[in-house]
Structure 1
């Protein structure tokens, strides 16, 4: 099975100021976000990836350029609209401190599957499009490059959380239990029987083992021996 590294973009000026950027154009990484992306790039550099797929928004494309600069080869770098940020509609561009007072806020926190952003999309729609895209791309890269292929998807916090919830078999109403920090890296392998969630929300650690081993077809009863 192929392996997808889910990378959230580094911290942005909007993140630092507590604004829900959404799909606002021109939102870029701040100095901290650039360093976060560089650290993640250094981790991934130990693994030859076949592609780095990016959300079309600038903060993800900026993160992608940093990741590509550390790659030993020349992986594909397509843009995928289906993993772009959630359409927050009228919530876009507003302070989180203000949004937390809205009645919809509690729905987003406790029953995300029922949340529909005014003038935007629902969280259920967001999950459906992003999960479909990640699974489709994963199957395409495995078919072209073999079961040992590793690829990267650079996207957004809620997108990655929803993909991880699906891979973990969690209802969308539980996805707020998952944390995905700026420039964090999560690893998922989609097997014939079930997804294998290898790690979530990591910001350090050696990844060179990904270039040396293929995932077993079945889960190891008892936990297995792990990686060297």
Structure 2
């Protein structure tokens, strides 16, 4: 079956502002995010791609644009099912402020029970993303053969939930997974099971260096939405 190359979008203006963007319109890549996107074509230059699939949000489409420019024949499809989690009333709020909400403890430790006020549940988020990937896998297999690869650009929590599904992990464990902006995660699907070939690969180790005020490392909490990555 198909090999899925999952790309988290490049760093966005919301990431650097510490804001949970969700589906808020008008959130674009910042200068670093644009540079990350510009480097993407070279990073996967050796991989033939059957097609590209993007979340409809601007930061994902902007991340894929350099790749599309480098491969003029690459077909781009958009799928709302791999769009960011609908954080509802949390959208547009500062993460530091949200850390004080009682719901955050549920999001961190029991995400399968977490539902955002005015938005969706994390369980529903994972279900729609997994359904989308299964359908795209089948389409790629039918149209391009079962050894084809395709690229999909989505969001931190979506990527993490797809990795958890591929590894057979309960959603309640998915906060143990971390993916940097514009990192590449690769899952090869087979008839009987998926294989995780890469996880959050950025090609460097800058993100491993200690950094002051690191919410994730310091508190033990995962950054909802994925965070801004290494400075």
Cα distance in 2 between the residues matched to 1:66 and 1:162: 26
Q: Which residue of 2 aligns with 1:89?
A: 88
Cα distance in 2 between the residues matched to 1:142 and 1:196: 17
CA contact (8 A) 1:86 1:123 kept: yes
Please tell me whether residue 22 in structure 1 is matched to residue 45 in structure 2: no
* Secondary structure at the counterpart of residue 78 of structure 1: strand
Aligned length: 204
Superposed counterparts of 1:111-190, under 5 Å = 111-190=110-189
Superposed CA offset, 1:198-219 (max 9, x none): 11100128xxxxxxxxxxxxxx
- After superposing the two structures, state which structure 1 stretch, 89-98 or 31-40, moved more: 31-40
Normalising by structure 2, we get a TM-score of: 0.86
The offset of 1:174, in angstroms, is: 0.1
The offset of 1:42, in angstroms, is: 1.3
The offset of 1:108, in angstroms, is: 0.4
Q: Which residue of 2 aligns with 1:36?
A: 36
Superposed CA offset, 1:74-116 (max 9, x none): 1210111110010000000000000000000010000000000
Normalising by structure 1, we get a TM-score of: 0.87
Cα distance in 1 between the residues matched to 2:39 and 2:31: 13
Q: Which residue of 1 aligns with 2:210?
A: none
* Secondary structure at the counterpart of residue 147 of structure 2: coil
- Unaligned runs of 5+ residues in structure 1 are 206-228
Q: Which residue of 2 aligns with 1:5?
A: 5
Please tell me whether residue 61 in structure 1 is matched to residue 61 in structure 2: yes
Q: Which residue of 2 aligns with 1:212?
A: none
Task: Give the superposed CA RMSD.
Answer: 1.1
Superposed CA offset, 1:165-204 (max 9, x none): 0001000000001101100000001111111111110012
* Secondary structure at the counterpart of residue 153 of structure 2: strand
Cα distance in 2 between the residues matched to 1:41 and 1:103: 42
* Secondary structure at the counterpart of residue 76 of structure 2: coil
Cα distance in 1 between the residues matched to 2:20 and 2:42: 28
- Unaligned runs of 5+ residues in structure 2 are 205-231
CA contact (8 A) 2:55 2:61 kept: yes
* Secondary structure at the counterpart of residue 109 of structure 1: helix
- After superposing the two structures, state which structure 1 stretch, 39-48 or 59-68, moved more: 39-48
Cα distance in 2 between the residues matched to 1:85 and 1:74: 27
The offset of 1:128, in angstroms, is: 0.1
The offset of 1:64, in angstroms, is: 1.4
* Secondary structure at the counterpart of residue 158 of structure 1: helix
